[in-house]
């Protein structure tokens, strides 16, 4: 059986998943001070910060499946200070000063997660050792150097550091390393331990979580569920990619898929040989993004994009697995580390992440209706959701902080195009990223196709 055939036999099981006793569903009409739809990072961080500030609040969370069912339990475990759109783009929609403040807030958020986990004794394998993006072609080296210059010129001379080939290889012993970028502002976590630990903590603080409770309607002061209505002056929509399934939000966000593999634990000798005895996030600078980490028990987690967008923003469970894309991710891992040929893959999984039309996350509260929201993290939600939780606390409790004036607060993204234009445009974008990587392999220069894609989307 070849690798692709073997991978196709693996079920959809995130490495991070752990079966826990089911929480009760909402069975009757219930009142709360704050109602939250979605028991992922956004909803749980919001509940945590609200109750930390005002312990007497009655906070009730409803979740269609189980705690951490969505991206919170399926991601690659990077809590990074990367914002989905470039700071240059942020400065266009707001100001240069606001872009600098946003980056400072994202940097602090990486540390804030560590502070909370330590203070609350939540064991989530948090390790803040930074992030290295390897340059493995001459075009990637040129883009790495340009990124450092651009960051410095923008006013952030210490955000990124350029690496020469020796420095980069010392960090990660991948094949063909010619240089890279490094930032301190990234930590690794075990996503499942984080989301489950947060859920237990907010319950201990007084929050109530109802699982197996779909929200059939989310409206001002009321969340309608099959067996009861949850009413509250404040209703928080924390449904990320699944927001597209709610009436009124079908074009506000689309679900794009990220797919992941995990290996069996790698031996100490293997990790020594490949300079992988660390908890540092890493990838390379290709345009069709990949991401990787080594877990506390020595497994390699390697994921990436490339799964197609499905017409009508459909999110059936079968979309979590795409044999051809999982095979390409496995091949990419072997291109990094040829010596891992034959290493057993034990887990594969996937899931949707939320993307707004301008790729910009948003956190907000409509004071006239009491409707609050946060999401559209474009795959960078492990850290951004923590910032979102603090922002929602501030907006709901009218707590004034400098972060309240960050450009993602009350940001309104344009709607996505109607189908089939949406399907055509999004999948053309995925194809353009693939073509950009191919162009760079041939020309050995930064891709014109990828440059045009970044100019159109503002993403980076």
Q: Which two tokens stand for residue 191?
A: 């996503």
For residues 292 and 330, the answer to whether their CB atoms sit within 8 Å is: no
pTM of this prediction exceeds 0.95: yes
User: What's the distance, CA 341 to chain centroid?
Assistant: 28
What three-state secondary structure class fits 405? Answer: helix
Q: Which two tokens stand for residue 221?
A: 């002061």
Q: How confident is the model at residue 1, as a pLDDT?
A: 61
Q: How far is CA 368 from CA 37, 314, 413, in A?
A: 19, 32, 20
What is the phi-psi region of residue 215: left when phi exceeds 0, alpha when psi lies from -120 to 50, beta otherwise? beta
Q: How confident is the model at residue 275, as a pLDDT?
A: 98
Q: pLDDT tens digit string along 149-208?
A: 999 999 999 999 999 999 999 999 999 999 999 999 999 999 999 999 999 999 999 999
Q: Which two tokens stand for residue 352?
A: 């949707």
Burial class (CB in 10 A: 0-12, 13-18, 19+), 227: exposed
- Say how far apart CA 460 and CA 448 lie, in whole Å: 14
Q: Which two tokens stand for residue 74?
A: 């399926």
The DSSP code for 327 is H
What three-state secondary structure class fits 351? Answer: strand
Helix 96-119 × helix 138-154 angle, to 10°: 100
Assign 3-class secondary structure to 255-319. Answer: EEEEEEEEECCCCHHHHHHCCCCCCCEEEECCCCCEEEEECCCCCEEEEECCCCCCHHHCCCHHH
Q: How confident is the model at residue 447, as a pLDDT?
A: 86
Per-residue pLDDT of the chain (460 residues; tens, 9 = 90+): 677 788 989 999 999 999 999 999 999 999 999 999 999 999 999 999 999 999 999 999 999 999 999 999 999 999 999 999 999 999 999 999 999 999 999 999 999 999 999 999 999 999 999 999 999 999 999 999 999 999 999 999 999 999 999 999 999 999 999 999 999 999 999 999 999 999 999 999 999 999 999 999 999 999 999 999 999 999 999 999 999 999 999 999 999 999 999 999 999 999 999 999 999 999 999 999 999 999 999 999 999 999 999 999 999 999 999 999 999 999 999 999 999 999 999 999 999 999 999 999 999 999 999 999 999 999 999 999 999 999 999 999 999 999 999 999 999 999 999 999 999 999 999 999 999 988 888 898 888 888 777 777 777 6
Contacts of 158 (CB under 8 A, 6+ apart): none
Q: Which two tokens stand for residue 37?
A: 């739809």
Q: How far is CA 37 from CA 40, 211, 243, in A?
A: 9, 11, 10
Q: pLDDT tens digit string along 382-426?
A: 999 999 999 999 999 999 999 999 999 999 999 999 999 999 999
């Amino acid at each position: 059986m070849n690798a692709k055939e073997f991978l196709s036999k693996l079920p959809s099981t995130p490495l991070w998943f752990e079966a826990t006793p089911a929480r009760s569903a909402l069975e009757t009409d219930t009142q709360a001070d704050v109602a939250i739809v979605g028991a992922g990072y956004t909803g749980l961080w919001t509940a945590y910060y609200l109750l930390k500030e005002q312990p007497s609040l009655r906070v009730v969370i409803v979740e269609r499946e189980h705690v951490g069912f969505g991206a919170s339990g399926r991601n690659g475990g990077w809590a990074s200070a990367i914002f989905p759109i470039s700071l240059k783009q942020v400065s266009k929609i707001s100001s240069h000063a606001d872009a600098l403040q946003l980056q400072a807030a994202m940097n602090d958020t990486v540390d804030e997660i560590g502070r909370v986990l330590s203070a609350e004794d939540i064991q989530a394998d948090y390790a803040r050792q930074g992030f290295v993006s390897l340059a493995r072609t001459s075009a990637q080296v040129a883009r790495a150097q340009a990124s450092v210059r651009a960051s410095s010129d923008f006013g952030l001379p210490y955000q990124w550091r350029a690496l020469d080939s020796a420095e980069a290889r010392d960090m990660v012993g991948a094949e063909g390393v010619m240089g890279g970028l490094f930032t301190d502002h990234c930590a690794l976590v075990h996503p499942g331990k984080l989301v489950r630990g947060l859920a237990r903590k907010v319950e201990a603080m007084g929050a109530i979580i109802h699982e197996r409770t779909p929200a059939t309607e989310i409206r001002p002061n009321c969340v309608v569920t099959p067996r009861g209505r949850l009413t509250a002056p404040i209703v928080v929509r924390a449904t990320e990619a699944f927001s597209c399934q709610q009436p009124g939000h079908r074009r506000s966000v689309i679900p794009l898929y990220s797919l992941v593999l995990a290996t069996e634990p790698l031996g100490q000798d293997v990790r020594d040989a490949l300079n992988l005895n660390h908890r540092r996030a890493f990838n390379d600078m290709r345009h069709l993004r990949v991401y990787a980490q080594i877990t506390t028990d020595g497994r390699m987690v390697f994921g990436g994009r490339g799964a197609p967008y499905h017409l009508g923003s459909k999110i059936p469970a079968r979309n979590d697995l795409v044999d051809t894309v999982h095979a390409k991710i496995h091949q990419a891992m072997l291109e990094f580390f040829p010596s891992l040929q034959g290493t057993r893959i034990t887990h594969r999984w996937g899931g949707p992440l939320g993307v707004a039309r301008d790729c910009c996350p948003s956190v907000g509260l409509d004071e006239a209706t009491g409707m609050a929201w946060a999401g559209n993290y474009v795959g960078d939600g492990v850290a951004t959701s923590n910032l979102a939780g603090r922002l929602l606390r501030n907006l709901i409790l009218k707590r004034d902080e400098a972060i309240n004036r960050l450009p993602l607060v009350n940001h309104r993204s344009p709607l996505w195009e109607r189908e089939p234009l949406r399907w055509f445009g999004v999948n053309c974008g995925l194809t353009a990223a693939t073509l950009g990587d191919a162009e760079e392999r041939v020309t050995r220069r930064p891709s014109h196709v990828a440059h045009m894609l970044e100019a159109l989307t503002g993403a980076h």
